[in-house]
Amino acid sequence: MGRVVSVQANYYQVQLEPGSGAGSNDIAPAGEAAQLLCTRRARLKKIGQHVMVGDRVRIEEPDWSGGRGAIAEVLPRHTSLDRPPIANVNQILLVFALAEPSLEPYQLSRFLVKAESTGIDVCLCLSKSDLISPEQQQQWQTRLEGWGYPSLLLSTCTGEGLNQLQTALSQRITVVCGPSGVGKSSLINRLIPNAQLRVGQISGKLSRGRHTTRHVQLLEMPGGGLVADTPGFNQPDLTCTPTDLGTHFPEIQQRLSACQFNNCFHRDEPNCAVRGDWERYQHYLYFLAALQQPLLQHEAKIESNVKLKSKHAGQSRYEPKLAPKKYRQISRRQQQQSLQDLFRDGS
């Protein structure tokens, strides 16, 4: 048995589990490499079984001296991420710098919502603690606790928090993410000395890091556990539904039992207990509006193509409108116009 730690074309680098295998030929002889370069059995191709980084796999016919093998089976995945494409991740390490680049609350919120929407545990780290005073550090921590997130202070310069980070990463599969230039690669390099990930320089004026991290790869921690670096990106897109958005805010979850509605957007519903003066309420409203916008457009399109038909017993249903004669098709401009009217009426 082993774990796929990287994929290149049709080859899979598999880290072997210590002492795995039943027959004598299945057990790696002492002193042989702990990784095998594997292909995927034709049978797996036939059934459309893909192999991802993070997959736990069974290897057949290992060639110990050549360092080769063939993947015969992919075990069921516990989780599966799209970006980066990694299976069985059980922790997201979200890294934000306290300075250089400065911590933007909306941006952090967006990353938190995105991370929560995967359903995977989130561990929040505040890096470059050496750049701000202990009082300021404390202020940030207290503020983020108000959001529902304890945070770990880190610095690769002073070494603050690195032992705790090592403990947090051991025995788990962790993906490290966050904006560009916050020090993700530097942290991994400190924890895994032979990782040798490229560390970018903050580019002068913009205080933005360069995108220097690529290739999806799981690296083994000295104390156990696997970790993947990801390229920094500054604005993750939110893909959850407006209805689900509230479930990604710990503050809303805390207040939910007091809300009397089960389909509430906590916006202007009367007597909603969630609406209120908690700090991220404005973030919530902002994201909600952004998520609802495309839906409104979609609904407007449907409504312009159907009409509501009343049926007996108070029932009604939508039926397609009779198509206008071909030569009298309405212009795009008119269509736009009517969509805009709909928005005005609806708002």
Binding site for GTP, by residue number, is: 127-130, 178-186
157 lines the binding site for ligand GTP (CB under 6 A) = yes
Binding pattern to ligand GTP, positions 118-147, x when CB under 6 A?
A: ---------xx-xx----------------
Write down the least CB distance from residue 180 to ligand GTP, Å: 4
Do you know the residue count of the chain? Answer: 347
Write down the least CB distance from residue 251 to Zn ion, Å: 12
* For ligand GTP, the closer CB: 122 or 202: 202
184 lines the binding site for ligand GTP (CB under 6 A) = yes
In the β-sheet with 226-228, what is the strand arrangement from edge to edge? 151-153, 122-127, 91-97, 173-177, 226-228, 218-220
**E strands, 189-344, in order:** 218-220, 226-228, 306-310, 316-320
What lies within 8 Å, CB to CB, of 22 at 6+ separation is none
Residue 202 interacting partner from Zn ion, ligand GTP, none (CB closer than 5 to 8 Å by kind): ligand GTP
Give residue number: closest CB to ligand GTP: 232
Closest CA relative to residue 75, chosen from 60, 67, 84, 87: 87
32 lines the binding site for ligand GTP (CB under 6 A) = no
Which residues, 187 to 226, sit near ligand GTP by CB under 6 A? 199-202, 209-213
| Rg of the Cα atoms in the chain | 26
| Interface residue with ligand GTP, options 6, 91, 137, 155 (CB under 6 A) | 155
| Interface residue with ligand GTP, options 15, 91, 180, 217 (CB under 6 A) | 180
232 lines the binding site for ligand GTP (CB under 6 A) = yes
d(CA 177, CA 92): 7
d(CA 98, CA 125): 10
d(CA 35, CA 242): 44
Note the residues at the interface with Zn ion (CB under 5 A).
Answer: 259, 264, 266, 272, 274
Taking residue 335's Cβ as centre, other Cβ atoms within 10 Å add up to 13
Which positions lie near ligand GTP, rule CB under 6 A?
127-128, 130-131, 155-157, 180-186, 199-202, 209-213, 231-232
